[in-house]
Each structure stands twice: as C-alpha cells, then as structure tokens.
Structure 1
C-alpha cells in the first residue's frame, strides 16, 4: 500500500468487508429510501440479525470473514506502520493526539468517508439508512471493535484533540454519527490555514522551515507557567524550551468551540499551546487546560498566577527577568543593529517593526505610535523639537539635565553589559523644581528631543477623580501606556499628585495617602523616563525625593541669561528693528516665560499694525505682562520709554 493513502485504503477494505457481510451474510439488498420505511422484509432481517435471536447465519458470516482475512490483516498492519512512521498530515495529527492503533483506525475510517461521496453511499448501505451517511458508533463497534469505539468516548484522545466529533443530537447512542473536523480534512488536502473557530487574536508562530511537528517526549506534558517582563519575551522563553515546535499563541478562549479549535489546531500542527492572560485563570479555563494532556501547554502572564488558579497538571514556573530587545532581536525584526536612543522591549520592537515594515527610517514614527492611543484623554503629546541651543540654564543645572539624558541612553551598558543591579528599576525619574516660567517644561522638551522621544504632558484634570480608586486606575493606564512605547512622561504641578502624606484625620486623608503610596510603588517599577515639575520642592513627599535619579533646581535668570533669552525669543526671520535687548535684560528682572510671552505679544501687535517689531511694541507688551503678574512698572524701570506708555 502506498504511504500517502494507507488510511484511505484501510477504510476501503473495511467498508468492502462490511458491505460483503451485510449483503452476503445478512441479506441486506441495495434499495431506494433505505431506512425511511420499515416493511416486512426489514422486520425479518432485524429478527435474524439481533444477537439475542441467534444473529445472522454464522457459517455464511465466517465464510465472508475468512475470504477477507488476508487483506484485512494486511490493511490493519499497514495502518499500524503508517501510524508509527507516516509523514502525511493525518498520521502526524494521529501521533500528536497520542492515538493507539484502535483510535487511528476509527480516525482513518471517519476521515476517508468524509472525503469521498461513494464511501458515504457505502456507509449508508451498511447501516441500511440513507440518513446515516457517516459512521455511527454502532457501525464503528461492528467493523473495528470495542477498543476503536472507546477511542470515541467523551474524554478519549479523539475527542479531547478535537479531531472527531460525535453528534449528540438526542438520538440513540447506536446511531450517533462520527464526523471529522473540516480543519483536519483540509489539512489532508494540503491546506494549512488556521481553524476559523480559534479565539480572535490567536496566531501560529513557526520555527523556520516547519509546518507540522511531532512531540519530543514526556517533557511536553509539563505545564509551563511563564511570568514577568513583556509578552514577547515570555513567548521567546517558551520557544527556547521548545526550539523546533510551532507556538499557537492565543488569548484565553471564551467558548467551548474555541477551546476545541485550539486543541485541534495544536494537534494537527504539533504546536505548543501558549495561553496569554493578564489575570488569574477562572475555573473553566483551568479545567480546559488540564484536559489537554496530550499537548504541551504554557500559560503566559505579567505576574505569577495564584496557586489556586493553576490547572491540575505537573507545572514548571519560569520567571522572565530581562525583556529588553537585544542585538539578535533587532537583526531578526529590522535587519540591523540596535540604533542609539532606542531601548525597546521585545514586544515593543515587534509592534514597531510591524508598523515600520522593517524600514529603519520609519522606526521613530512607529515607536511614537506605541503609546499614543492609550494616552488619549489623559495626556497631551508635545512634539519635542527644541534643543540645547534653545535652553538657557546655568552650567550646573544644564549638566544635571544632561546627566538625566545619559542615564537613560546608557542604561543598557550599565545594567546589562556591566552587571549593575537596576534598583529599584532601570527607569529614570527627574524632579524639576523652581518658580513658574523658569524653563522646567522647556527643559523636559529638550531632554525628550535629545533622546528622540515624544513628551507627554499629563493632564491632571483628567487623571484626578473624586471617586475612590479612579485616580489610581487612570495613573495605571498612563504608566502602562508609557511602558508600551518609549516616551517621556511629564507631570507638571507634580505636588498635586506627589504631595506630602498627612496625618489621617478623615477618610479623605486616608485615600489621599493611598494615592501617594501607589505612586511611590509605581515609580519604583517604572522603566521609562518620568519628569516631575513643581514650583515648591518642599511640597513633594520626601519618599519621592529618594527615588529621584536627578533633581534640577531652576531659578530666575540673571542679567546675562535674560539677554540670551531675549535674543532667542525673536526668530531670525521676524522683522525686528532696533530692539535694545541690553536695556530689556538689565531693566526687567523677569523669568524666561515672561520674556517669551512679551516677545510674542509684541509680535502680534506689530503684525496687526503692519509694522516691524520695535522697542515700543516690546515695552507695551512688557507692561501687559507686568499687569498680569500684579506688578506695577516704576519710572526707573521704564526710563526713556515711559512716554511710550502714555501715548495710545
């Protein structure tokens, strides 16, 4: 018998033998509308065939069996060898399901009938009913024996693997038909698409050059519990334990059909089932996983699963510590070495590479997209475009700001290559403290631009909620999204969230302290860049200060710094005429924010008047800024420009 069609030839011999027994021994004639009408001849045959009434003529049946004995023995032997070493999809699926010869015989018969209408006619004949065109439990029992029938019982390999279903439509047990899953039939015909009943989001990840695979032994029965790092790193950890096996990666299936499809797909492909979850497993999921004993199964979760939710299988826990993409990951995803300035987890790299389509020039935009959608409504994206030349700071403060950039840019060298322990985490948290308008927001933007990251300014009005627990949920969304894409989180007016804990005098005090405690814990586990800005450093809880990587104190600029800020406030293409920046820097002791507002106000006034920006427009703009600040200009400050303000 040819290796590729052994199972079909086996089924043909089985059906031919049974048809001969029915026709010659039992005297069942081919007839139209079989089984739809019971006549006297049917009653006579039924009475002759029932075991309690001596059954069919023994001599005639034995003569037919003897006639077919050599071919029947050869067909069963060939099928047993096919089960042991066959390479076609059905043989691989049978071995992956852990079938013995009886189960393989039942599978071969059912599948052969499924793919050939003439065999369906034969099945209807041997069952004497045109309505029964698939093998029933009774005919399987009669043709193949009791062990083959038991392979179709609930909980037996053919059923738990999802390869064969026994229709439970309320009919008597004997006439319940056995049907083969369409996914398996397609596989026998060379189609390898995934089962459409899989849980949405399920994917198959193949090792190179492999479509089907055989289990490698008892180690596959161990349930892997993989936790930590990011999802892609956990997938990699499972793949490393099964290097030649495909991975069927799926969310937790939510229906019986999806669980059956998961078992079936993994059985056909010889795949490891990797169930991904963000929470503890419910009882139904644990039971379903426990039933898949013929498959290698892994459960992936960000945190350890509670012991009471772990399925009843021999389990091995694997903690994934390092989730940062390395050189191998970058070469596989982007075909290049890791570029400077990008510190992505494997999951982030997978997502970004998919958007960038392997094009390195599109990678920065793809990285920015990682977190944008998740932060919608909670933070405002600031396109970081200004650089060091736009920032006017004393040298000590600028050096500290550059240190913040270096800490993030070189963390792989220090923590991975040099072996320093990232305690409490590899993230970088900076505190910018100083009066309003001294450049804290600009400094955060410059740091983000230097790192090639976007700056997201947290909207406190959207984050802080009067409902208990909602503020923490909003903050968790922010930190989780920030971990999903390289960016800089900027908390302006940070003392509103990171303020000092107080004595508990009311329920409000208690919940306010809980929020602060949550933030302390979340900052410790945050691996990105966060910048906290406050006007009053003394209002920030001391516990936060101990967690700061860099603290930069901003102060009002001195005269030389004010001169530089005035110069930078007027773009080169702006029509500026005789603006005395030396006078402005010397006379007006204001912050950089006030200077930029005044320069902008003067520009709008000049644009409306259709003139250039002059000292007159600038002085008027400065006067408006003083009024906003509640400061009255003195004659000494305005000197020779006092008359400008007296004219309209």
Structure 2
C-alpha cells in the first residue's frame, strides 16, 4: 500500500473537530424533536416509558402530528471529511445527514437514551428509519427518502450504512454505520482490520540519480505513459494487464499510478474481502491493484468489476476470459520490460558499482519489485562481509529472488566451478563462451534489434552438448551457469517420463512453464530419452511417442529460458530438434595432452609425493575426464587410508580400477 497521504486531506485539519461540531448541531435537533414529542404525551414522565403502552398512550399515538422541518447547517470547520466523502462518492445531502444520525451513538453515548426515548423503546438505542426521517423532517411515506435506504442505493451499495433487522417493519429497522467509516471520519486512516494480511505495499519503481524513470524510453515506457494518461482522464478505469513475464504487469501498474499521482492499495485476499477492500479504496480515494489471480478468478474479477467508481488494475499471465465477468475490463498486453534493466538495477542500488553492472544483471529477468528487494539484499550481504558491493553479492541476491518450483522435477546444483575447471580444445571452449554471450544479450538482439523469428517464438537459448560419457558435458553446463550467475537444474527423467498417455507432456509442460519464469539453466541429461528421433508409425506406441516429440518441438519454439541438452549419441537426436538449437557443442574424447592436463588439474589440490609424474598413466590409460577424476579420488582414498601422500602407485591403481569398471583390458595385466 502506498504511504503517500491522499491529496484531498489537508494535513493541518482536524476531522474529529468538524464531526463533533456536527453532532452538537444534531443534539439540538434531537432536543427539539424530544420536546415536540413530549407535548401532551401522557407518558412523558413515566419512568417505565417504552416498556409498556397504556390506553391513554395509545390514544396519544393515534393523534396526527405535523413533521418538524429540520435542515443540516453548514459545517463551521474548514475541512469536513463527511462533506468531502459525500462529494467524491456522489452522495446527496440527505445521505450525509442519514450517516450523521446513524453514527451519533458511536461517538456520544448521550445519544443512546435520547434515541431510546424517541424510539419508545429503551432497549433500542440506535436510530431507526422512522427516527432518522423524523429528525430530518422528511415524511416517512416519501418514496424518494425511503429509496435512499434501499439495498441498491449508494449508502448500502458502497458499504457505508447497514439497515439491520430485515424481519422488522421497514420504519423500525435500525441503522448502523461500520466502525471503519466512523474511524475514517475522525481522521484515522488505518485499514480495516479484516484486510490484515491481504494488503501489501505497492512499491513505486526506483528512479535514477537524476530523478528519471529507468524505463521512460522504449515500448514499455510508452505503454506506461498511455496508461497513466488514461488513469487521469475520464471515468475510473477497470483494466486487465496481461503480462508475458511474471511481475511486469505489477511494475507497469505501479509506474502508471505513480506517474498519474494516484495512490493505490495492492490486494491479495479472497473475494469475500472485496467489499471491505472497495470501501477502503472509496474512503481514501485510492485505486486497487491485484496481482496473482487465484486458480478460479471469476468471483474476484466479478466483484471488482462491479465497482465502477474505483480504478481497478488486475495483472496476470493468463489471457482474459469473458466467462469471468459480464462487465469486461479493458484488456491490454503489457510489453516485456527489458531494455532498461541495467538502469532499473542502478536506480535500485542507489549507487554506481565499480563492476560491469550491465553484464552482471543481463541474465536476470526480475520484475521491478524483486529488483528492489534484490538490491537491498545485496547491500546487506556486502555489509555483512564488510566489503564493498560486488558482482557476487548482486548475483547471490538475484538468485534468492528468483525462487523456483523446479526442484519438484529437477535436481538443483549451485555452481562452484569456473572456466579454469574446464580442460577442452579451443573450438568447444569458444562455443561455450558464445552460449553464455547469447544468454546475456538475447533481449537486446532478439528484442531491441527485432531479430526474433516471429510466429510466437520465445527468446530462449538452447544448446546441445554431444560427446562420450565423462567428456565434460555436465561440468560445462555448470560452468556456463556459474558464468551467468544462475543455478543449474538437472531434469530427473524418472519424474518426467510416464507410461500413461499424455502424462509425459504434462510433466514437461510444468517444467518448461516454471523454467520460463525462473532465472536458471535447465539441463536435460541423456536428452535422447525424450528428444529422440521420430519413427515410422507401426503401432500405438510409435504414434504416442511421436506425439511427445511433436509437443516438444512446439514447446521449444515458445521457450524463454536457458536450456542445455546432453547426449552420448548425437545421431539419436531428431533433426527437427537440432534445427531449433542455437549451438551444438561436440565434446571430443581427450587426447594424450588433454588427458595429462586433466590429471594435473584433478591433482591440483591433492597432497602428492615429491616428484610424482602423471604422464605415464595419461599415456597408458585412455580415460575421459570423468574417469580421470574418479581415478584421482580412488588414489586419494588409498593415500588417506595410509596417512600418507598420494604416490604414482596410487594413481596407477586408480587408473586400473577405472579400466576394470569399464570391463576393459588393463595394460600390463593381460586377460583377467
């Protein structure tokens, strides 16, 4: 909820003083009516008046009485919340007077016995319909006056007045004003207690050091400008903002409201709290913003659409469904906010960092409110470490704000490697750098420069890593994720592939949908299990297998995330998938020099005996990088068991064990 004071409320005024002055005038009118009622009333001095009716009292009630014409005097105070509320909500003078009469016992207990006397019932200490009309000098049979208390009239429809006890005759029904309205008229702007936990602060987008909005230029800025202009012109706007990326709709709404100077409430509660929400908005002259619709949003949208006097902005990723509501809102597609992302981060940080901010934040697609929270968290992390703000702090904070539901279907890996951990030929290494570069600059190239292929295609980055087991495919995906400052999620095929028809596609859709909204790298290990070649249809199994492949082809077209596919057999991948890939990286089996480099890299942190040379095992044993690491681990355990340093014999034994695991002939041992 915004903290700005509504523009209609003078800060030096005392609303309670004006209301008390009105009550003093009302008390004078009550006194006149009491005196008028007591003339020739045989029960006027009876202490049990109102508890029983004598014959003489009945005859008195049957006498015709001329109504006393009483008007509401103008308030003497310069600021009157009741008058202001009446003007903003289109209430009549009669409506305002009815509210004042109804709320009097809530502010002054002396009205209770007076109302009891006038109601001829000491137990009924609130104003009734009859008493209110009598105090105003309005005939109780006036259809215009009675209509102001109808359920569809403004007082009841806007939640300002409740006509209680529907089982009683209309004239004897009690009038009650909600406590929240009484508090508002006294100057208390604390939201209704029933809305606790459902109202949130609507954070305005941060501004740069020169006071400019970071996204003032571009398609997103133009859209915000048009929306702000519409909010300040014409009747209250009811709009549905469909966002392509989660959070952009909320950022757009906050920016437009900020530019239009309209304070707002952000609501995330159930539909049964909407009446209190709308009343709160009407009392303070606020707009309502809703982001994150429930699974079945029809009731909530219908309730909000009924408020034609309150600006309502709803943001969500789903297209608007006409079945939700009879009164359709203005449905708009929110442009993706990407061009000014570094400027938004800079404004949120409030300082110019001494590292390349644009390169650091390029992989992240957080909405504006998440950017502000990430910037705050990054500054807190830097203070905790006692160091200046660094790119590592910002990346960690950004990852924390990009919480994901992918862990239900994938295994998360927090990258702890870098380019130094890769021992690869020049060509695949260059391709990996290019993959990271594409992930950083895809918004600029595909968005700003409009090089997207169109047709609803997404801005995802897709790479295929092909090579034998242990050649570094998974490690390379982890290095790319580390370079981008993202987490790596390895898809568990056991949780994806299902024997029932259509379930595999559903599981994959959940993964892709979550990956689209999460800043992470998605890894499909052994991808040929789900991205394999389509075959000739010979039976039902072939038919449904081809349907899975067709679904994947379509889904990859609209994918917006970063995904890496790995396979031991590139030939098993369908050519249609290959065409949709940005890069295909071949991981060759390491030659002798690369094997030696891998042995040395694996031993770099291991305590080794003096003069140890892994050159002989590198030459004699043709092992991939993963097997070399396993051999070094075996050697380290052998040395640790002896309480000694790793020796050449330990390395030789480790290499031999890797050969035996693979069922290969160990050099120097002969057949076994």
TM-score bucket of the superposed structures, by smaller chain: 0.7 to 0.9
Between the aligned partners of 1:357 and 1:119, the Cα distance in structure 2 is 58
| SS in structure 2 of the partner of residue 595 of structure 1 | helix
Residue 248 of structure 1 is aligned with which of 255, 261, 265? Answer: 265
Shift of 1:4: 6.1
Aligned to 1:319: 333
* 1: CA distance, partners of 2:38 / 2:544: 84
- Whole-angstrom distance in 1 between the partners of 2:48 and 2:558: 73
Alpha-carbon separation, structure 1, partners of 2:113 and 2:231: 40
- Please say if residues 569 and 599 of structure 1, whose CA atoms lie closer than 8 Å, have aligned partners that are also in contact: yes
Q: Does 1:174 align with 2:188?
A: no
Query: What is the DSSP-based 3-state SS (H/G/I as helix, E as strand, rest coil) of the residue aligned with 2:131?
Result: helix
Q: CA–CA distance in 2 between the matches of 1:218 and 1:605?
A: 79
Partners of 1:5 and 1:600 in 2: CA distance: 82
CA distance in 2, matches of 1:151, 1:452: 63
Which residue in the other structure is 1:52 paired with? none
- Does residue 24 in structure 1 map to residue 36 in structure 2? yes
C-alpha offsets along residues 289-343 of structure 1, whole Å, 9 cap, x if unaligned? 3421211122222122123324415x32221121346355335533246553222
**Structure 1 residues 87 and 13: CA distance shift in structure 2, 3 A:** closer
Q: 1:599, CA displacement in angstroms?
A: 0.9
Task: Supply the distance in 2 between the matched residues of 1:151 and 1:204 (Cα, whole angstroms).
Answer: 36
Q: For the Cα contact (< 8 Å) 1:280–1:306, is it kept in 2?
A: no
Q: 1:115–1:25: structure 2 CA closer, same or farther, 3 Å change rule?
A: closer
**Comparing 436-445 and 322-331, the one that deviates more:** 322-331
From 105, 125, 134, the equivalent of 1:133 is: 125
Kept after mapping to 2: 8 A contact 1:330/1:336: no
How far apart are residue 30 of structure 1 and its match? 6.8
Q: C-alpha displacement at 1:169, in angstroms?
A: 5.4
Q: Which has the higher helix share?
A: 1
Q: Is the 8 A contact 2:82 2:96 kept in 1?
A: no
Say if 1:206 and 1:246, in contact at 8 Å, map to a contact too.
no
Select the residue among 101, 114, 131 that pairs with 2:106: 114
SS at 2:359 equivalent: coil
Kept after mapping to 2: 8 A contact 1:280/1:305: no
Give the drift of 1:392: 0.9
Residue 213 of structure 2 is matched in structure 1 by none
1:264 & 1:323 partners in 2: Cα distance? 33
Query: Which region of structure 1 is more displaced relative to structure 2, 221-230 or 352-361?
Result: 352-361
**From 407, 415, 419, the counterpart of 1:384:** 415
Which consecutive unaligned segments of at least 5 residues does structure 2 have? 1-12, 206-229, 383-388
- Residues 448, 455 of structure 1: 8 Å contact kept: yes
Using structure 2 for the length normalisation, give the TM-score. 0.81
CA distance change for structure 1 residues 598 and 370 in 2, over 3 Å: closer, same or farther?
Answer: same
Looking at structure 2, the residues matched to 378 and 156 of structure 1 have their Cα atoms a distance apart, in angstroms, of: 54
- Give, in angstroms, the shift of residue 36 of structure 1: 3.8
Correspondent of 2:460 among 416, 424, 427: 427
Find the aligned partners of 2:540 and 2:47 in 1 and give their Cα distance: 83
Match of 2:589 among 529, 549, 556: 556
Contact kept in structure 1, 2:15 and 2:185, CA below 8 Å: no
Q: Secondary structure at the match of 1:219?
A: coil
Change (3 A) 1:279 1:207: closer
Match of 1:334 in 2: 349
User: In 1, Cα distance between the equivalents of 2:315 and 2:418?
Assistant: 42
Distance 2:472 2:377 in 1: 35
Q: Give the superposition deviation at 1:245.
A: 1.4
Pairing of 1:404-415 with structure 2 (within 5 A): 404-415=435-446
Contact 1:207 1:244 (8 Å CA) reproduced: no
Work out the CA distance in 2 between the residues paired with 1:390 and 1:24.
Answer: 98
Structure 2 equivalent of residue 345 of structure 1: 366
The two structures, once aligned, show a CA RMSD in angstroms of 3.4
Which digits, 9 at most, give the CA deviation of each residue in 1:87-117, with x for residues without a partner? Answer: 5554444344332322222223333442222
Q: Which residue number corresponds to residue 5 of structure 2?
A: none
1:575–1:634 CA distance, 2 compared to 1 (3 A): closer
In 2, the alpha carbon distance for the partners of 1:17 and 1:126 equals 12
2:573 is aligned to 540
Match of 1:193 in 2: 190
Q: Secondary structure at the match of 1:300?
A: strand
Q: Does 1:402 align with 2:433?
A: yes
In the aligned structure 2, how far is the partner of 1:522 from the partner of 1:411?
18
Mapped partners of 1:148, 1:414: distance in 2: 67
Q: Aligned to 1:224, which of 220, 239, 244?
A: 239
1:356-387 Cα distance to aligned partner (Å, 9 max, x none): 57766554333323455623342222121211
Indicate conservation of the 8 Å contact 2:525/2:567, yes or no.
Answer: yes
Q: Output one character per residue of 1:470-529: Cα deviation in whole Å (capped at 9) or x when no partner.
A: 444443443344344422111111222222334555555555444434433443333332
Q: Which residue of 2 aligns with 1:298?
A: 313
Look up the match of 1:202: 199
Does the residue aligned with 2:315 lie in a helix, a strand or coil? strand
**TM-aligned CA deviation for residue 279 of structure 1:** 6.7
Which secondary structure does the structure 1 equivalent of 2:623 belong to?
coil
CA contact (8 A) 1:488 1:529 kept: yes
Cα deviation for residue 411 of structure 1 reads 3.0
- Looking at structure 1, the residues matched to 351 and 48 of structure 2 have their Cα atoms a distance apart, in angstroms, of 70
| Mapping 1:431-510, distance limit 5 Å | 431-504=464-537, 508-510=541-543
The 1:270–1:359 alpha-carbon spacing in structure 2 relative to 1, beyond 3 Å, is: farther
CA–CA separation in structure 2 for the residues paired with 1:241 and 1:533: 45
Residue in structure 1 matching 2:277, options 262, 284, 291: 262
TM alignment of 1:2-151, pairs within 5 A: 5-25=17-37, 27=39, 29=44, 35-48=50-63, 55-56=64-65, 58=66, 65=69, 72=71, 75=73, 77-78=74-75, 89-144=81-136, 145=138, 147=144, 149-151=146-148
String of CA shifts for 1:520-547, please: whole Å, max 9, x gaps.
3443333332111111222223332222
Of 575, 592, 599, the residue aligned with 2:625 is 592
Report the CA distance between 1:419 and its aligned residue. Answer: 4.9
State the match for 1:211 in structure 2: none
Provide the secondary structure at the position in 2 that maps to 1:260: helix
Q: Deviations over 1:29-49 (max 9, x none)?
A: 37656544344454234323x
The answer to whether structure 1 residue 374 and structure 2 residue 405 are counterparts is: yes
Give per-residue Cα distances to partners, 1:11-35, cap 9 Å, x unaligned. 4434532442243245463765654
User: Are the structure 2 counterparts of residues 329 and 128 from structure 1 closer, same or farther at C-alpha, using a change threshold of 3 Å?
Assistant: farther
Change (3 A) 1:206 1:586: closer
Aligned length: 607
